[in-house]
Amino acid sequence: MQIKWQIFNRKIHYWGSVICAIPVIIIIITGMFLIFKKQSDWIQPPTQKGYSQIPTISFEKIIDVLIAIPELNVTEWTDIKRLDVRPSKGIVKVQTKNNIEIQIDHHTGEVLQIAKRRSDLIESIHDGSFFHKKVKFFIFFPAALVLLVLWVTGIYLFLLPYLRKKKKRV
């Protein structure tokens, strides 16, 4: 029995599009937000500039500054998700576990900005880890593979009429 590739490809597209529809729409929408994360203060706070490019602030001073700001709910280092030192900008970005970003001048210890950071949440939705660690590997990755197959078979279906015309000419 000979395989009818055009029918087979159409069935792949029919079922493949259903299988990967929800993960792909999530990836598309969150990807559109992430494209503009540096342009949107709502997604990611703009990076401020400090007074000096030479960091002199200690870790003890950083945690003291954070503890002194009650709305952060920081009491110890375990409340901190990430420290990002930017010598060229003169700052230390501190991200708390509740996704608040504090930008501190790394020379004077002055707080330059406190803002909600949404880009990490959007990224976790984008890669599926927001829902559960296993969703990333067992739903979003297979959806990506199905999407790759849809792309390959779609290119084949697109080229098929041109290949048939070329075959008829020969």
pLDDT tens digit string along 68-121?
999 999 999 999 999 999 999 999 999 999 999 999 999 999 999 999 999 999
The percentage of the chain sitting over the pLDDT mark of 70, rounded to a whole number, equals: 99
User: ∠ at Cα 77 (115, 95), nearest 5°?
Assistant: 20
109 and 160 part of one domain: no
Q: Could you tell me if residue 88 is inside a domain? A: yes
Q: Could you tell me if residue 2 is inside a domain? A: no
Task: Output the six-digit token pair for 134.
Answer: 């296993």
112 and 129 part of one domain: no
Domain that holds residue 78: 45-117
161 and 130 part of one domain: yes
58 and 110 part of one domain: yes
Give the pLDDT score at 1: 67
Q: Is 90 exceeded by the pLDDT of residue 138? A: yes
Q: Which of 97, 117, 137 is the last residue of a domain?
A: 117
Strand partners, 114: 102
Which whole number is the average pLDDT over 121-134? 94
Q: How many domains does the chain have?
A: 2
Q: Which of 47, 117, 46 is nearest to 88 (CA)?
A: 47
Give the pLDDT score at 16: 81
The more confidently predicted of residues 91 and 17 is: 91
55 and 110 part of one domain: yes
49 and 70 part of one domain: yes
Q: Could you tell me if residue 134 is inside a domain? A: yes
Give the pLDDT score at 141: 92
Count CB atoms within 10 A of the CB of residue 39.
Answer: 9
Q: Is 90 exceeded by the pLDDT of residue 19? A: no
**CA 37, 41, 43, 46 torsion: positive or negative?**
positive
54 and 111 part of one domain: yes
Query: Can you give the pTM of this predicted structure?
Result: 0.76
8 A C-beta contact, residue 128 and residue 139? yes
